[in-house]
Structure 1
């Protein structure tokens, strides 16, 4: 870039010539300044940094390279160039077209006279933008790790509550209820199961939960969520459904799909404080060639399309490029975390789909989701009958659970299935029960307990009675335990569990033991 060079001497001394060669080839931006801070000579790297909107020319005051609020600081640094420099000056470039997160580090130092030009200052400009972005990613990863740990703890306690609700509901159903009361109980159970699904989504976002995708009808999923959406939106926002018939099938985790729609609906409600209309539509699309560029492009294929549109205030153009960034929020004063849309994009991407947004200020927003189409819906699994409860009764079961309501409900369930139950509130209490007792036929234990945890208890008991059947229960995700219980021949059951699931898990570990004894 010869336009950024100034004077060429006919016969430069060797030192000056070597300096100019290094100056021109330097990878960081450099400029030679006169004592007043005006540019004498600039290298090509600086020309690339300042961009086309700043005319880099001899005599240009160096302070004009940076944004207006920081020019005084740069002038002071230039004036003090002969003094020891404590730290680089961090500035934003004057180029208005530069990305918002662009940052330069400036160093200014005095040089001896070069070839009769008089004293000079060397201004070095380093682009810190890649480093700054890497630091932001690391900070975001640390925040995600913190969120993950917090989510795991909350999910454990919440899953214990849901397990107690579902267990109590099952006990009431088994006792016999009038039809109207049974229907109301079903709604309680449905709400608890939906809550469990949302907890799974929270853990999936924190990467502590295995995803559970299955093939489902997109229209049916939207219709099933509509009553909850109407309550969520309130009276001021009208919900319109435009579901294309026949409906299309997609393969996705049902709880994740609920989370996508709920997050978009909440954002739409916030964008319509004075009321408006939320429209959810389904359709189909055939993409014949790649749409878009890079990893964000939509590849060719057959898609089911889900559109969520609102008549709200719209999204400013400067916000659109950052809309799906984790922890980016336009509502920090209202408790916005910046996780909602980042979660939506992650769910869609994990499901093999693609999401785009169209919006103009004052004209509302439309989020359009493409999900790969599936041709068939798997047959629904019939729910296990409430009574009679299946189980291989007759065993002597050691039940260890520190939550009293869950311990009582699990003991009642196992006794109704024909088992003898030794119930304990801790590992230490369980060892006390077995002090002068024959070995149990199986151990059913919570994992997270005060004192010794369930996994340690199971290992201790197996050291005394090798091959003891074990079922471990936990409100934490299996991946958060730090161990692989199933790799040690133990069955893991995630809370909240249905009564039939606990009996089936227990039966699955008792059968191999019975076969070995035979």
Structure 2
């Protein structure tokens, strides 16, 4: 077959910016321009060895190309998978038509456009869009004038109708003021974090939300992420009325944990999406989303940190054991240049909140690490020493935290325990500040002192009353109650956690499960029966009384408190020889009273 012999045409074809190929109908390559050689990564020397069939990933695709050309006489923008000479695959758009040579033989003229980057970008955007669309949190995106641009599935289902204007959304009482505030704050901060209360369809809601700004294609968009915290807030308010600040703190920790779980899921999907693309611009956008997620996570941690600690629960624990636990949990924070020495000589108990005590030690050690990082010293050392001491005929446990760091200026010594006083103007604290430490220690009949010499050392000394565990007659009488074992089954973790912690603080041993399947596993491994069961009736994977029936078959008898948010429960039909029913929501003291009554019956 005679190929093109017109020099002007050949010159034009060879300088085309897209690959151009001329072949016979059987696939023999007669001519290809430089762009084609570059695309398929083949040298001109290999020209005679090449057949265009080799470039098709699927030979059936070639058959469809030929059929379409025979039928229509041409092919336009046919999306296809092709293969380079080195075996790499790529996405392409192919256009083709028949070519009749001077000798009358038919051939094919092909133009090919590599669209791999476009396909990768579309795939990435589709995956990221699917993540946002299906996340259980409400996601709303507006342009910089607050015109609605996007809302995900969860938000659409909650609204139950299409809102076309930001001002029509049910969340905000004064949208105009909010718009001004958001723009002002985001000009200097990375995000806005707020809570909002509103009424929709006669029901009261409380939402936490964050807003951050994203730039895309030289345009700015506002991204809103909403979390429904109505249940947590309602429970928090109820428990606060009863003075149970300890439980409120734990509820907030659960809320923070759930938010961080969701953010972890989003980070994981972003990582998957980054692995699916080589487009650096898209990776840059995803990295910006990553940064915003980290900021939100840090915000949640700070919310948990600043809960009041004055009235939360206490427990007896061995002081030296708690310090050893701290060292095992946080040994990695020291790095290789700082040595931590433990000199523990206090085999005694104190009565504090153990988690807060460990956080106090953590904060003091972090202060020491920061003091050591700023000095050029070969041997950087932190020493934690404990011993017993008697003052005014009272026994105390003493904890010394010593470091040979930069020390504290004498002018700061008297101010160091004042609220909001800090010498770290360029850093963010990650533990309890010294004013909070001072308040907690003194509120528990202890003392804290500081001794320091600038550029040489700092030593904090904490003294706490030693508690002797002696059982009174009344305690011995109630010792059976304090070893009473209670099993809690509910698919809401916030219920099992808060009820469990409340019962533990009242002396009971507690085991929990959050599904029927988990409860049955507990039963399989159970050697001795529970003294009492607290079970939700309707679970995500079954009914609570199914577990009760299995339990009765195993042990023959049980006392049980059924709980449910449904009011139309037929109590007489529930299994269990001794049982009562409590409707959700309930107050923890009321539940405790029912527990005591049922155990005593």
TM-score tier by shorter-chain length is 0.3 to 0.5
Normalising by structure 2, what TM-score? 0.35
Normalising by structure 1, what TM-score? 0.40
Could you say which structure has the larger radius of gyration?
Answer: 2
The structure whose residues are more often strand, as a share, is 2
